[in-house]
Amino acid sequence: MTNVAVIGAQWGDEGKGKVVDWLASRADVVVRFQGGHNAGHTLVVGGQTYKLSLLPSGVVRGKLGIIGNGVVIDPDALLAEIARLEAQGLAVGPDQLRIADNAPLILPVHAALDRAREVARGDQKIGTTGRGIGPAYEDKVARRAIRVADLAEPETLSAKLDELLLHHNTLLAGLGADTFTKSDLLARLHAWAPRLLPYAEPVWERLDALKREGRRILFEGAQAVMLDVDHGTYPFVTSSNTVAGTAASGSGIGPAAVGYVLGIAKAYTTRVGSGPFPSELHDETGRLLGTRGHEFGTVTGRARRCGWFDAVQVRQAVKVGGIQGLVLTKLDVLDGLPEIHVCTGYLLDGARITRLPASPAAQARVTPVYESIEGWSASTRGARSWSDLPAAAVKYVRWIEELTEAPLAILSTSPDRDDTILVRDPFAG
């Protein structure tokens, strides 16, 4: 058996939560390896709904959860999430959750700068959630971040804050926003220390031991390949690498241990926030997809933009993301449509292309080229075998496999974790 990494193959919100929950029941440990509390997974287990942003989905199943060094952690958000799950009857103590001691912290100054920059952009907003994720990653690469391990050395925090505030207060003042005092941030850090440090450890050591013991490790990605800071629709992207290779660097394990890469895609396409979206629909069909699919962001509550399946974009995500098997979700949302369109190419300045260009200006100019397929009238919702599906729905799924050059591993036909057709067991490699 092998380990499994789950990543999004579109612009996020593809239903990774259900898939990770379904796989977590067979894993020994679930690892979050990038992103922050701008990610969101909604899980429905035993009639109970759990909304997660930082915690690995496995904690809902009683599995060990690990937050890797590639994640940026807002202590207030994490502690509030732990308290919320404990109020729902789950245990989320140090026996159930470990946090990388070299993970960077998101401070209130990061969120303030994130919001001030977005206001200053005016009509050119990126669509950030304003939670401080980007500025926290900036501090990490600029070598001024305060990390979890620093909480255990309070005598060093004052000097670290001096350097951090020299940078951030200058920017905030220039943007006309309120600045921060060192005493306030220092008090917050001292208050967080006794609550976070019991969870902290060098998680790379634990993961190495688990790997040697032959335990199943499930790596849980946030966002999606088209939001990757290098490979996505830059600059309308997240602040981290979302491809499967980040599972290694973001958790402290060798790349060979990442295992089978599973990419999640909806049977149509959605996107939250700003940025190019070639197959977006602004008509009644787009509104129908949003209504049927309950397309609202788990974290932001913002309505998602909806459109036809974009095979060009997903095929690109398959190649750069290292995806070996595809999960197709929300097939039931397409039930009853007389005809279904798929974007199979783009036109850019009159020429047909089969990739999303790197240039933001070129991305804004591409227009979709569609091919269509007959829809189906019978319901696919709740199907648990191929025989439960209309022939036209099976034909659509097989067409998606061909267009994306990715074999189907799992088909999801409702939010219920058991409404799943397993084509290939990811843990089998």
Residues acting as catalytic residues: 13, 41
Q: Hey, what amino acid is at 175? A: L
Distance (Å) of CA 353 to CA 32, 108, 280, 311: 35, 44, 18, 12
Q: Hey, what amino acid is at 61? A: R
Rg of the chain taking only CA atoms, in angstroms: 22
Calculate the CA dihedral of residues 177, 181, 182, 187 and round it to 10 degrees: -110
CA dihedral sign, ordered 186, 192, 194, 196: negative
Q: Output the CA angle 264-126-170, nearest 5 degrees.
A: 130
Cα–Cα distance measured from residue 113 to residue 169, given in angstroms and rounded to the nearest whole number? 9
Cα–Cα distance measured from residue 246 to residue 5, given in angstroms and rounded to the nearest whole number? 10
* Cβ atoms 12, 38 nearer than 8 A: no
Cα–Cα distance measured from residue 332 to residue 413, given in angstroms and rounded to the nearest whole number? 6
Q: Is 158 left (phi over 0), alpha (psi -120 to 50) or beta?
A: alpha
Token digits of residue 396: 């659509």
Whose CA is closest to 366, among 345, 346, 342, 343? 346
Cα–Cα distance measured from residue 347 to residue 167, given in angstroms and rounded to the nearest whole number? 44
* Cβ atoms 251, 66 nearer than 8 A: yes
Give the burial class of 264: count Cβ atoms within 10 A of its Cβ; 0-12 exposed, 13-18 middle, 19 or more buried. buried
Cα–Cα distance measured from residue 265 to residue 7, given in angstroms and rounded to the nearest whole number? 9
**DSSP letter, residue 123:** G
- Alpha-helical segments (H) within 142-283: 154-174, 182-196, 203-212, 246-249
